[in-house]
Chain A
């Protein structure tokens, strides 16, 4: 830990002593675990798709490495730098999302992907960190200056993003974006009466989604109907956890990855449960909780309301993705297409998380003169 002396005032030296090294370590741990799990879960899927068996694993290692680099670069940014990056990301992602609706390819009933220069990217992944920071900025300015139309701007941004997401449609991500926005509004001092109203809106919105979108309806029905039982993927997933027990069946001994089409993405947690057991699953959960609580505790001491709101939004996004993914695999909620941060396979998702957590690291750095950096 003494690569740089305390007295080193170089950029890297200051960064090293300012940044939350514990959070960084936890995120690196998650990435390593994710890499190992991708090696475990993806080869059978690749084989089924007649690809090279390490197709997904190789790409994911590359994505993780890129994400780590992105994360560290972003964590060097100042608060203002983070804001500028977020603005660029939000703007760029919005344009790409509109483009997706026009020229994107439809898979499994949704238009989420854009093919650019031989890569397929999911612009909506990149909107999340950008949106969290932008909304935090609008809210924080409004808090300090009543004349600034912060709520209106945050509201317009939210409606725009949510609308584009629903047009794809991507209800899961809309939910995450709504949650980010709602939590930020809550922290920014939303009167409690509105909190109640918003909770009602969420319930109503969910019901609306159930009525409007047939695929949501099917999933929820299947979840609620005891006659039907659980869906195929979820029942296999539950079986996987049962087979795993405490210590798992051992690396490579899992079977669930051979039958689940999404063993490397949405159901990677089940692969972990079957091959490595409950202990590793709990370690993964603990790492998520550690990152979140660590971020909250760091930002608590910060005097900057913008940093508080932005970190809250980014961590809520991070937490929700992990919660929704794991809750789906253990059948606590209907399955949602949601990746497990840094663990599930997915280029856009992993890179976007690199940006998001990079921003968290940047905003939770100890700043000697926070006011100056504004």
Chain B
């Protein structure tokens, strides 16, 4: 018994010693692993940094700024939230807590993602620092953050079509972001554009107001520096917020200012007049018979504001006579016309630095009828950028500058230095065009674009949109191209409304003169002081005479002009100072003179009725002198 016990104890002790040693070795192993992990910087992962380095937060993609250095697009470091569903312990809890922090997240959607079989799901992109902190503090296993970069457009939709946007992975997919994708990635120097965000804002503001007022389906506008082709503002409506690409509609993405090409209508008559005057087939005192429509094969060209008489060149522009323009173009000839249009940059896509540039639509064969319709802007479709560039060349002394969205000083605009401005018309023709444009605003269809203190010139355009069933009379494209100050033009302002509908303020008219010209006037009024052009009351320029005695002689049928011609001439030859005074201190004679002038040169029926009403008021005022002051002001407001 004692022997067995001794034996068993001996074995037990020896074996316990073995067990003790094994356990000690195991503990030593853990101590070794711990030391390795904590001090020898071992394990299999690199030691993580304790301090976030500034390098990480530096953004990779360069900023985009406007001409004054205002930030238009920048990159901010952000974090995105993702999860490994296999590590998530309680999907419902995680979804609920995360959804509580993120206002846009839906618990159900998060639940579905967290319960999926994959090993990686995005839960939310671009968290705010606060959201990042709060989700981090939830301490939920299985979810983690990924640092990234987010493109931010501080002005929202304001400059959307110029800048374009980047996709979630930071690739530029539209606008300048796309064209200069490589440069923006490579450099950290901001890309300086020609945009002036203040002017851009005015332009967009006024276009939105007009679009809403006239229930147009779209609008576009441009402000261009005529002396170098720099685009200060370019707006296409509807537009989109590049910060929220998921809410973009197809219509909003379409750039009507650069990509869209349209039959511009009467604004083209400026080009027709320019080529006719420049090539010398007619001079500013000449004219054409517009007494009856032109019939050619199955077409008939007639005038919207029909005068049915002989018209001088200024009158053709002033009254926007299709017949006159067509005859002028016939005199110029198809080949020369094409030549000029080529030089005005209207036959090739604008060389703009964004991918969204539309190619003009030209007639298949340049027939006689093409020459005639193109003279008044039908049968050819160009983009607003092309038109504004062409008009800039007409008014700036005759030099065509390719349009650009980058500042001229920008080294990245070097491509444009290689293509310097080229002369398209003579300086003298340019001067005459300035005069004609001024006339349109002073006395013609563009009267509503006039701004006190600024010598504004321009041309209206109202094109009937073509559809499957030929030209539509109801769907219009109404535009106005303006420039100022006309004695030494600096800026061209172009605006177009797509399918505007007239309202009672415009007597149901939806023409360029009624619905777009006022907007351009307001744009000029607001932007001019910002770009350093103070208003100068009383400033005027010399404009071509509208009618010569010669033309009047040929125009014996005009009942209105007969007997009042002397007076009328007096009105027209009156310098603008006098005109300005009229507005400030109305005098009987001036009011009547102005009423007559309106009656003579603004031919729409409603305008005529307006004048008649004004006259009636004036007549009564003469009878009842007591009330004349009040009536006078009523009359003035009606006429004005």
A-side residues, CB < 8 A to B, are 44, 48, 108, 143-144, 183, 186-189, 231-233, 238-239, 241-246, 258-261, 273, 277-278, 281-282, 285, 288-289, 292-293, 296, 299-300, 303, 305, 308-309, 312, 315-316, 319, 322-323, 326-327, 330-332
Contact = CB atoms under 8 A, between A and B. Distances in A.
B600 interface: no
A305 B89 contact: no
27 contacts: A48-B138, A48-B139, A143-B8, A144-B4, A187-B16, A188-B8, A189-B11, A231-B87, A242-B41, A243-B48, A261-B89, A277-B38, A281-B38, A282-B31, A282-B35, A285-B30, A288-B27, A296-B19, A299-B16, A300-B17, A303-B9, A308-B9, A312-B16, A316-B23, A323-B26, A332-B29, A332-B33
A323 B23 contact: yes
B43 interface: yes
Contact of A187 (B4, B12, B33, B89): B12
Contact of A233 (B1, B84, B141): B141
Contact of B38 (A144, A246, A258, A288): A246
Contacts of B31: 282, 285
A6 to B, nearest CB: 29
Interface in B126-153: 137-139, 141-142
Contacts of A48: 138-139
B13 to A, nearest CB: 6
Contacts of A326: 30, 34
**9 smallest A-B Cβ distances: which pairs?**
A278-B38, A143-B8, A296-B20, A241-B37, A187-B15, A232-B141, A319-B23, A259-B139, A189-B11
B82 to A, nearest CB: 13
B38 A259 contact: no
B16 A308 contact: yes
Contact of A44 (B5, B29, B139): B139
B17 A296 contact: yes
Interface residues of B, number: 40
Interface in B27-59: 27, 29-31, 33-35, 37-39, 41, 43, 45, 47-48, 50
Contacts of B17: 296, 300
Contacts of B9: 303, 305, 308
A281 B34 contact: yes
Contacts of B11: 187, 189
B39 A186 contact: no
Given A44-B139, A238-B43, A303-B9, A330 B87 contact: no
Contact of B16 (A288, A300, A323): A300
Indicate the member of A239, A296, A316 with the most B CB atoms within 10 Å: A296
Contacts of B548: none
B410 interface: no
B12 A296 contact: no
A239 B142 CA distance: 16
Given A188-B12, A261-B141, A278-B34, A144 B19 contact: no
B47 A242 contact: yes
Given A189-B8, A246-B38, A305-B9, A330 B19 contact: no
Interface string B77-98: 0000000100101000000000
Indicate the member of B12, B45, B48 with the most A CB atoms within 10 Å: B12
Given A143-B8, A293-B24, A241 B15 contact: no
A144 B34 contact: no
A144 B5 contact: yes
A237 B585 CA distance: 87
Contacts of A282: 31, 34-35
A232 B87 contact: yes
Given A44-B139, A242-B41, A261-B141, A289 B12 contact: no
A80 B90 CA distance: 49
Contacts of A300: 13, 16-17
A273 B34 contact: yes
Nearest to A140: B8
A245 B38 contact: yes
Nearest to B88: A232
Contacts of A319: 23, 26-27
A366 B137 CA distance: 54
A292 B21 CA distance: 10
Contact of A278 (B20, B39, B137): B39
A139 B23 CA distance: 22
A308 B12 contact: yes
A357 to B, nearest CB: 16
B230 to A, nearest CB: 54
Contacts of B48: 239, 242-243
A368 B136 CA distance: 62
Interface in B55-110: 84, 87, 89
A331 B42 CA distance: 13
B19 A258 contact: no
Given A277-B38, A319-B23, A232 B12 contact: no
A323 B24 CA distance: 10
Nearest to A195: B15
Interface string B406-433: 0000000000000000000000000000
Indicate the member of B9, B11, B33, B38 with the most A CB atoms within 10 Å: B38
Given A143-B8, A144-B5, A308-B9, A241 B27 contact: no
Contacts of B141: 232-233, 259-261
Nearest to A309: B12
Contacts of B89: 108, 261
B50 A243 contact: yes
Given A285-B31, A312-B19, A323-B26, 16 more contacts: A48-B138, A144-B5, A187-B16, A187-B19, A188-B8, A189-B11, A245-B39, A259-B139, A278-B39, A282-B31, A285-B30, A289-B24, A296-B17, A308-B16, A312-B16, A332-B33
B34 A330 contact: yes
Contacts of A293: 20, 24
A186 B15 contact: yes
A89 B138 CA distance: 41
Contacts of B139: 44, 48, 258-261
A241 B23 contact: no
Contacts of A277: 38
Nearest to B30: A326
